[in-house]
Amino acid sequence: MEPFYAIGIFLFVLFLLLGSGVWIGLALLGVAYVGMEMFTGRPTGDAMMTVVWRSSSSWSLTALPMFIWMGEILYRTRLSEDMFRGLAPWMGRLPGGLLHTNIAGCTIFAAVSGSSAATLTTVGKMTIPELRKRSYPEHLSIGTLAGAATLGLMIPPSLTLIVYGVAINESITKLFIAGIFPGLVLAFLFMCYVVIVSKLSKQYDPTAEPPLSFAEKVKRSRFLLPVLLLISLVIGSMYVGIATATEAAAIGVIGSLALAAAQGSLSAANFFESLMGATRTSAMIALILAGAAFLSLSMGFTGLPRALAEWIASIDLSRFQLLMVLLAFYIILGCFLDGVSVVVLTIAIVEPMIRQVGIDILWFGIFIVVVVEMAQITPPIGFNLFVLQGMTGHPMSFIARAAFPMFLIMLAMVFILITFPGLATWLPENMRQVR
């Protein structure tokens, strides 16, 4: 019974610290410290020093600050304006019109950002005013933006996948490649929703876009070329095996600096702001990872992960049943914690369970990212909802209702992944053959 007594102690201390307003990373360190003192005879300070240093000096983790910096640089360019100018001629004539620019724009920026919040802010600051000018329904504009912005967590480079890869000791490059097809399928589902609603909704009556010739559409598409080239360099270099995730991140930083300079957006002030923004975010995530690593060690001494894995084996849950339990667990946890915290807080306990029933580690990384995406648009802590509230001035209840259909689409995506696991595993397997 000692492992299950330990989990009660861990949870009590964790919620006590989080409820008192302590940073998540420090709360994890505090819980681990209490666990080490109560359940082991090992010197706690020595163990903390060793584990924190080891988790902070991981080579795989070096990709994280560079991908964050790349997104910060591009956030301060005219990328959102250029994306809208390049996408609008092609999207305007589709059923649903310029609402598709929310989805296509978020999909493109997700491939150079890795952050849901950065994707939402960058695309939203351009599309929301333009959609309002054309009388698009406000709830559809906000809902599609809230949902599509979560693609920043899945389409590489994904900060959540980097954290997952470091925590579970899996190849970040393979995880990135695994996220491509599921991310594109989810974007396609969002676009199908826009088409259906535009045909059925009585409120849908936007101002029609003036027709453009094919030559004019192609001419305006030139605004998309720089960012598409950058995406090709970053993702393509990993896929064909000429660059690791860390090396691709360096390519992305150099490319984003070149893009910003070419646009005339690279000033000394912007450079410093992007560097400090990346530093703050990277330090926050590094502290959470260090706390999680120490907590994993502490829980390992109690035998908790092994006891839970044995318990799962004893009740004989099938693969599908375990996934449904984890789906509900992560949705509930995601209502109160951000995605990175959810991953690092739970992976030490969940990993033995999924290995016990034979779930592919790469596939599970994509599964967990989809569920974390859902948490981004669920109250009370859904981060995208808060960002949209600040951008639009709408009450939280309105934004949550507008985003709810996107939540249901992501839920459907979970079952699509379960039914067709090759969506997440085929590209990494093919990449291994290339290498």
pLDDT number for residue 224? 78
Q: Residue 144 — φ and ψ, nearest 5°?
A: -65, -35
Alpha carbon distance 49, 41 (integer Å):
16
What is the tally of structural domains in the chain?
Answer: 1
Q: Cβ distance 65 to 163 under 8 Å?
A: no
Alpha carbon distance 241, 229 (integer Å):
18
pLDDT number for residue 192? 92
Predicted confidence (pLDDT) per residue in 387-410, tens digit: 787 778 888 788 888 889 999 999
pLDDT number for residue 49? 78
300's tokens: 């390992």
Cα–Cα distances (Å) from 203 to 140, 146, 210, in that order, read 10, 20, 21
Q: Is residue 394 exposed (0-12), middle (13-18) or buried (19+ Cβ within 10 Å)? A: middle
Residues of the chain scoring pLDDT < 70: 1-7, 55, 58-60, 80, 114, 207-209, 300, 302-313, 335-339, 380-382, 431-435
pLDDT number for residue 433? 44
Cα–Cα distances (Å) from 434 to 29, 239, 430, in that order, read 41, 8, 6
Predicted confidence (pLDDT) per residue in 25-82, tens digit: 788 788 888 877 877 777 777 777 777 777 677 666 777 788 778 877 877 777 767 7
pLDDT number for residue 337? 66
Residue range(s) defining the domain that contains residue 49: 2-434
As separate numbers, helices (DSSP H) first and strands (DSSP E) second, the chain gives 22, 0
Q: Is residue 51 exposed (0-12), middle (13-18) or buried (19+ Cβ within 10 Å)? A: buried
pLDDT number for residue 308? 63
pLDDT number for residue 187? 92
Q: Cβ distance 287 to 61 under 8 Å?
A: no
**Cα Rg of the chain (Å, integer):** 22
pTM greater than the 0.85 cutoff: no
